[in-house]
């Protein structure tokens, strides 16, 4: 069984718990990256807010990683993407 999650500004903070719920239901979670409209895209947040997303994502990772099997890689992948965006903006 599959479930989908549209990762965006309004719900990024729910992502880790959604993955845990999927795990409890025995479901894989597919992640849709929202790019448009830009005001809903996590990746279009100002850099300081994007850094906050990265920090919170890391905290969520620590909190739930031992409860994930099916979608542990999805959590790592989605936390990594904002880090890449900040690096690109910083010219690294």
How does residue 26 score in pLDDT terms, banded at 50, 70 and 90?
very high
Extents of the domains making up the chain: 2-90
Q: Is 3 helix (H, G, I), strand (E, B) or coil?
A: strand
Q: What is the pTM of this model?
A: 0.85
How does residue 85 score in pLDDT terms, banded at 50, 70 and 90?
low
Using CA atoms, how far residue 91 sits from 41, 47, 50, 53, 85, in Å, is 21, 13, 16, 19, 10
Residue whose pair of structure tokens reads 């994502």 in the numeric block: 57
Count Cα neighbours of 47 within 13 Å in the Cβ-side half-sphere: 8
Q: Is the pLDDT assigned to residue 92 strictly greater than 60?
A: no
Question: Are 54 and 86 contacting, i.e. CB atoms less than 8 angstroms apart?
Answer: yes
């Amino acid at each position: 069984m599959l479930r989908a999650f549209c990762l965006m500004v309004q719900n990024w903070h729910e992502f880790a718990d959604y993955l845990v719920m999927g795990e409890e239901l025995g479901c894989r979670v597919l992640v849709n990256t929202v790019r448009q409209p830009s005001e809903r895209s996590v990746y279009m947040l100002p850099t300081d807010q994007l850094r906050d997303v990265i920090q919170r994502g890391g905290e969520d990772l620590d909190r739930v990683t031992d409860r994930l099997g099916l979608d542990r890689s999805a959590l790592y992948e989605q936390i990594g993407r904002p880090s890449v965006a900040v690096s690109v903006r910083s010219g690294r």
